[in-house]
Chain A
Amino acid sequence: MQRSLIIPIFAISLALIGSAFTIDKVSSERTELRQKEGVGLIMPSAVAQIIALEFKGLFADIVFSRAMTYYGGKLIRKEEPTDEEWNWIYRNMDVATDLDHYFLDPYYFGAMNLAWGANKVREANALLEKASQYRDWDWTIPFYLGFNHFYFFQDNERAAFYLMKAAKRPGSINLLPTLAARLSYQGKKTENAIIFLQEMLKKTEDKNVRWIYERRLTALKAILFLERAMAAYHERFKKQPEKLDELIAKGVISELPQDPYGGEFYIDKDGSIKTTSEMR
């Protein structure tokens, strides 16, 4: 071997070993740093709109997917996002949809997770209102709005208003006007919620969201089952049972359904069926 080659080869092999060693360290340091970093800064929409130049749509994709992957990382680590992080997610969705007013994913992702995951229905509805204004052909947006008003706010009047709005948009399901009419009957809350959720399930392909819906649907079906059993009990014995066990004792039902959220069903003071898990 030529002598002049020895030093470079030695240097390269040393550096290769060194870099292979350090890249591992770098990636672990980075992971740690990024976890500490937590939620980053939010670029105000006005600034983002200016610096995005002609690539506003692309920018919206990036802002959205950054927040989505952050949330996904939390899910994988089985951590619950903090209040601050939820706000960060909400504002990211807001910025992404300011960059591209018609972009469905941030509206959808934000609205679903804020309402169901963070219990921030107001923020979810703000996103959906914005979506409904721009995506004025898309019936699913007022449909989701109607559901949120009905289910989380118990505001049947607003819910019916949004459902009728959805029904006027092309391609909507035929069921909407009927559902809107049914909402005026206060008593049928559980049944209406089941109909709503079944329709929402039909439109959903994302596994995560389906799982959220399906779990809630199972719980609601269990509650409906118990409500009907209570009604049957009332019919037979002309009084309300005080505990659910009485339903089994008197042979109205053979066993109590399970709460998919891990709680136990009970009869609340006002005579409605509740669960200790509060479906969360």
Chain B
Amino acid sequence: MTAVWSVALITFKEGIKNRIIFGIFIIALLLFAATTILTTLFMRDIVKVAVDLSLSTVSFAGLLTLLFIGVNLFGKDLDKRTIYMVISRPVSRSQYLIGKFLGIVLLSFVVVAFLGILSAIPVILSKRFYYYPEARFDWWIYFIAVIYIFIKLAIVSAIITLFASFTSNSFIALVLSLVAYIIGQSTESVRGLLASQVEKIDVSPILSYMVEIAYYVFPNISAFDLKTQAAHGLSINPSYIIWTALYAIFYMTIAVVIGTLAFKRREFP
């Protein structure tokens, strides 16, 4: 366990030292500033627009961090051949991979925690600016949505870990993870679309079969998107939280375990 933890810490430190992270933070801060200005263009649901923009910024910054820094943290050891230094130490390959995974999860946690707290500022400002009496908003739901952004990023981290375990360079891992993220984000809508329009349009059975497979193979990332709930203060059932959290844990376990199996069999050039 200490071996896993030390790899995780090293990965985290390497990630947080990366210069790209400053760029991402600056983009996020600019977007928060823009939120305050953009909300004034709307009529009544101003707090909703502010919540949309704030949470989207947190999520977007987290994704950028994972895709630009997280993927590279895996690739670095292989590209710079420092992997030989690591595997010659008393750290097993699976410990190394799990450590890397936990390291980037920690990185996304810090990013989400920092930006999540900052993201409340534009929301507070917009609430002071104008709050429509029939609008609903609840800080609890807002912060649950922030936590769910972190869970979503943890799942994306697991996918990155899986792809980085067998691809030969980090660019391929990046592309695959991005594609998996997009599929995971849209399968639910596509599946819903096919289900609802079955009578109107002939959908080939192969297509609906493929969509069904994709739905089970790729993570249903849209389940972790609670931005609408946060924006309108819609209550979330405790059962929803329990089942989605369990689903996330199981999915991450599957992805990381498959990753370690692939990584064990891997030969380094």
Is B228 a contact partner of A102 (Cβ separation < 8 A)? yes
A85–B59 Cα distance when bound, in Å, is: 35
Q: Chain B: which residue is nearest A170 at the CB level? A: B134
Range, interface on chain A: 20 to 34
Within 8 Å of chain A (Cβ to Cβ): is B234?
yes
Is A206 a contact partner of B134 (Cβ separation < 8 A)? no
Within 8 Å of chain B (Cβ to Cβ): is A138?
yes
**Contacts A50-B189, A50-B190, A53-B182 hold; do A140 and B134 have CB atoms under 8 A apart?**
yes
A89–B255 Cα distance when bound, in Å, is: 45
Neighbouring A residues of B45 by C-beta, 8 Å: 103-105
Within 8 Å of chain A (Cβ to Cβ): is B126?
no
Neighbouring A residues of B227 by C-beta, 8 Å: 54, 56-57
Is A56 a contact partner of B59 (Cβ separation < 8 A)? no
A100–B53 Cα distance when bound, in Å, is: 14
Is A108 a contact partner of B52 (Cβ separation < 8 A)? no
Within 8 Å of chain B (Cβ to Cβ): is A139?
yes
Neighbouring A residues of B228 by C-beta, 8 Å: 56-57, 100-102
Is A104 a contact partner of B135 (Cβ separation < 8 A)? yes
Within 8 Å of chain B (Cβ to Cβ): is A249?
no
Neighbouring A residues of B234 by C-beta, 8 Å: 102
Neighbouring A residues of B190 by C-beta, 8 Å: 50
**Contacts A50-B190, A53-B182 hold; do A61 and B42 have CB atoms under 8 A apart?**
yes
Is A102 a contact partner of B43 (Cβ separation < 8 A)? no
Within 8 Å of chain B (Cβ to Cβ): is A58?
yes
Neighbouring A residues of B53 by C-beta, 8 Å: 58, 61
A49–B56 Cα distance when bound, in Å, is: 16
**Contacts A50-B189, A54-B222, A109-B43 hold; do A102 and B56 have CB atoms under 8 A apart?**
no
**Contacts A53-B182, A57-B231, A105-B43 hold; do A138 and B48 have CB atoms under 8 A apart?**
no
Residues of B within 8 A of A (CB): 41-45, 48-49, 51-53, 56, 59-60, 132-136, 152, 182, 185-186, 189-190, 193, 197, 221-222, 225, 227-228, 231-232, 234
- Can you list 15 pairs linking A and B with CB atoms under 8 Å apart? A50-B189, A53-B182, A53-B186, A54-B221, A54-B227, A61-B42, A64-B42, A65-B41, A100-B52, A104-B132, A104-B134, A105-B43, A105-B49, A108-B43, A109-B43
Residues of A within 8 A of B (CB): 46, 49-51, 53-58, 60-61, 64-65, 100-105, 108-109, 135, 137-140, 171, 206
